[in-house]
Amino acid sequence: MLKLLKNLKNSLISVIIIILLLCIQAICDLSLPDFTSKIVNNGIQSSGIENPAPEVIRSIQMDNLLLFTDKDNEILDNYTLISKDNLSKYDYEKYLKSYPEIKNQNLYIKNKLDKKAQEDLNNYISKPLMILYSITNEETSNEIKSKILETMPKEQRVLIEQMSLIDIIKQLPENTLNEMLKTYTEQIDKMPSSILNQAAIVAVKSEYEKVGINTDWLQIRYILFSGSQMLGVALISMSSAICIILLSARVAARLGKDLREKIFEKVLKFSNKEFREFSTASLITRSTNDIQQIQQLITMLFRVVIYAPIMGVGGFFKVLTQSNNSMSWIIALAVGTIMFLVIVLFAIAMPKFKVLQKLIDKLNQVSREILTGLPVIRAFNREKYEEERFDKSNKDLMKTNIFVNRVMSIMMPIMMFIMNSIMILVIWFGGKNVDNGTMQVGDMMAFIQYTMQIVISFLFISMISIALPRAQVSANRINEVLDTKESIKDPKKPKEFDKNKKGLVEFKNVSFRYPDADTEILVDINFTAEPGKTTAIIGSTGSGKSTIVNLIPRFYDVTGGELFVDGVNIKEVSQKKLRDLIGFVPQKGILFSGTIESNIKYSDENMSDENMKLAAEIAQATEFIETKEEKYNQEISQGGNNVSGGQRQRLSIARAIAKDPEIFVFDDSFSALDLKTDAKLREALANKTKNKTVIIVAQRISTILNADQIIVLEEGKIVGKGKHNELINNCETYRQIALSQLSEEELNIERSDK
């Protein structure tokens, strides 16, 4: 898989942008639970008041507050005392509008503080502020006052009863005051800081109301501001997600395109040896279905590999540092359950993924064989058998797909059950903590969101872990093609052809065996094909005729001896330049989808129409082309299935003639022609190839009677070499082939003519 991912270098800029956008999205998504917590805790429960340290406090209330702390200087250093007497008219009007109580008494205004100073002030002031607020509560105040009066003599009670609790406390000695408040302060010390701050903020709200601040508007303003921030962050996250999806799809499509190009370029370099190792159906599957698997994986890979870990780790960090972590065990339970489920599903599905791609290969192969051999199937009434064969391959693939899809479909309901169960646990235990006063509602909501983010992150990872095995199988199959070393390569320093030996083809002690074969197919082949002459090769089926001509354009490499073209060993020249010299007509006429014109002009799209028509005329193709409605613009279907075998051969021959090469190689290319057309074609061809080298593989004696040199093969060896008259008398193999096709009288007539 990593090998294939190296191909992403062509989309490097897009990948970098995706990574940056994923980081932005993750940061935004991780900040959303904080906004939820703030809106609930500060905006709703605390009326928009963020800190237990008030922004403004009456001077008399400040004096009362300092009774319950020994941090007087630390607190007062963070406030500035203002009054209507020491303010300018402009400043007074400004403060009066915000704090109407300034017209009646002096106020303390909090200075601008950095984050650290603000936290310190909150710690200094929250506890005394809560105590002060509590004792000003009528019920609590009366209770404390009653306890104080119980310890006093009767004559003092009458005077003390008329005083407020604060005034009484001011007159008490410090030791007495501390002893009286000891139990009360011990209970406060046991409270979590968040609950303590929340209670202190209630006191701040009461103080703000007495200063004249509209706390309802303060709450609305805070919710609107925080909600706008939250909406902005959500919009950034959404925009990032949309861009990531678009870029990921583009990167995946680009990777698929690059891989298809690489496989196609690689396959074009394959010799027949490599094609024997990979079936055509398998190569098609690897170029389409396997690459599609990789493409689908890449679409979601970035989001999982980068986004999911950031969200998982980030969410866990947030839970531990910014939220109540007493329920962290719930997250650990969720992650452990998901990982166990993934491992089980992975163990079940992985073997099937490996089988799946092979079954697709098999189905493609069967389908291709049936479609290609349909006429033969019909001729032998084997439709039922082929239907059963296709049905078996189709059912095998279907069963495996059903199994894999069932495993995948089970995963999602189980994952949803786990997520909902986790949410129930969080609400259950979080509700208890809220009821006990150890957690705020906003914190519980934030914990739920963080928990879902962590669980969903591992859900993403589990999904990719299920998709990864199939993609890994596909990646291995693609790498098998890309890593295959071509058996036929160009030399590092190609030589140039000898212009003085133009068209000369020389076989010197050539032998050949197919890869992994035990015996030689060709043994000690020696002959020379000269320009201006026709060399014919004949022999029984399997004698090696086609193998010899396939060696000339290096479709295979000789395994022994040397093969020279234009005076140079063909292993020492460029394959492209070598094949430019050769007009090759294969045993089976192969045409490409397009038109008659595009097939004849296959070697040169810019070829003149005159040359095209001349080639068609020599190949005796004009007679059927002219009968077509569109003439040379007549459509040719894939493989030339809309023309006859003889017409295919003639168009293939016309294609080679139009190329005007130095060397013509005809691999039994006249077999589908009738004798009359064969004779006409050879006669016209002889005039065209006067200065060319012509090598003909033939089965019919009549095709090669006038050849300048006939090579007779038997079991891969040359058993005869010469002209027809020589061989008919000197070569028994040739004589038997000739007599099997022509009568002795016909052969005698031919001999007497010579």
Return phi, psi of residue 495, to 5°. Answer: -90, 165
Residue 79, pLDDT score: 92
What residue spans of 437-512 are helical by DSSP H? 441-482
Which contacts of 516-525 are long-range, i.e. CB under 8 A and separated by 24 or more positions? 520/559, 520/560, 520/716, 521/547, 521/716, 522/547, 522/548, 522/716, 522/717, 523/716, 523/717, 524/561, 524/717, 524/718, 525/561, 525/717, 525/718
3-state secondary structure of 86: coil
Higher-pLDDT residue of 695, 343 = 695
CA distance 210 to 641: 97
Q: How far, in whole angstroms, is CA 718 from its chain's centroid?
A: 56
Residue 658, pLDDT score: 87
Phi-psi region of 439 (alpha: psi -120 to 50; beta: other; left: phi over 0): beta
Mode of pairing for the β-strands spanning 717-722 and 709-714: antiparallel
Q: What is the mean pLDDT of residues 123-137?
A: 81
CA distance 639 to 301: 40
Task: Render pLDDT for 293-316 as a digit per residue (tens, 0 to 9).
Answer: 787 778 777 777 777 777 777 777
Asked if domains 269-482 and 588-656 share a fold, the reply is no
Task: Render pLDDT for 471-525 as a digit per residue (tens, 0 to 9).
Answer: 777 777 788 777 777 777 888 888 888 888 888 889 999 898 877 777 888 888 8
Residue 231, pLDDT score: 93
DSSP string, 114-133: -HHHHHHHHHHHHHHHHHHH
Return phi, psi of residue 714, to 5°. Answer: -150, 115
CA distance 541 to 524: 19
Residue 160, pLDDT score: 64
Second-level CATH architecture of 494-581+661-722: 3-Layer(aba) Sandwich (3.40)
Residue 751, pLDDT > 60, answer: no
Closest CA to 561 of 667, 434, 716, 693: 716
CATH code assigned to 588-656:
3.40.50.300
Residue 110, pLDDT score: 92
Residue 749, pLDDT score: 42
DSSP 69: -
End-to-end CA distance of the chain: 69
Residue 750, pLDDT > 50, answer: no
Task: Render pLDDT for 217-272 as a digit per residue (tens, 0 to 9).
Answer: 888 988 899 889 999 999 998 999 899 888 888 888 888 888 888 888 788 777 76
Q: Taking a C-beta distance cutoff of 8 angstroms, is the pair 511, 560 a contact? A: yes
Task: Render pLDDT for 679-697 as a digit per residue (tens, 0 to 9).
Answer: 788 788 777 778 888 888 8
List residues bridging with 282 in a β-sheet: none
CATH code assigned to 269-482:
1.20.1560.10
Task: Render pLDDT for 175-198 as a digit per residue (tens, 0 to 9).
Answer: 766 676 666 677 676 766 667 777
CA distance 563 to 557: 9
Residue type, 573: V
Compute the half-sphere exposure of residue 79: CA atoms within 13 Å on the CB side of its CA.
23
Residue with tokens 């983010």: 453
CA distance 529 to 708: 9
3-state secondary structure of 713: strand
Return phi, psi of residue 86, to 5°. Answer: -105, 15
Residue with tokens 């599609």: 292
Count Cβ atoms within 10 A of the Cβ of residue 704 and give its class: 0-12 exposed, 13-18 middle, 19 or more buried: buried
Higher-pLDDT residue of 727, 281 = 727
Q: Taking a C-beta distance cutoff of 8 angstroms, is the pair 306, 24 a contact? A: no
* Domain extent listing, the chain: 34-79+115-225, 269-482, 494-581+661-722, 588-656
CA distance 149 to 18: 73
Closest CA to 181 of 147, 150, 212, 214: 147
Task: Render pLDDT for 654-679 as a digit per residue (tens, 0 to 9).
Answer: 888 888 888 888 887 777 677 777 77
Residue 123, pLDDT > 80, answer: yes
Q: Taking a C-beta distance cutoff of 8 angstroms, is the pair 598, 634 a contact? A: no
Higher-pLDDT residue of 78, 264 = 78
Residue 466, pLDDT score: 64
Residue 89, pLDDT > 60, answer: yes
Task: Render pLDDT for 566-594 as a digit per residue (tens, 0 to 9).
Answer: 888 988 888 888 888 888 888 777 888 88
Which residues, in sequence order, are CB contacts of 99 under 8 Å at separation 6+?
56, 107, 211, 212, 213
Residue 465, pLDDT > 80, answer: no
Q: Which residues of 438-450 are buried (b: 16+ CB within 10 A; e: fewer)?
A: bbbebbbbbbbbb
Tokens of 213: 């601040």
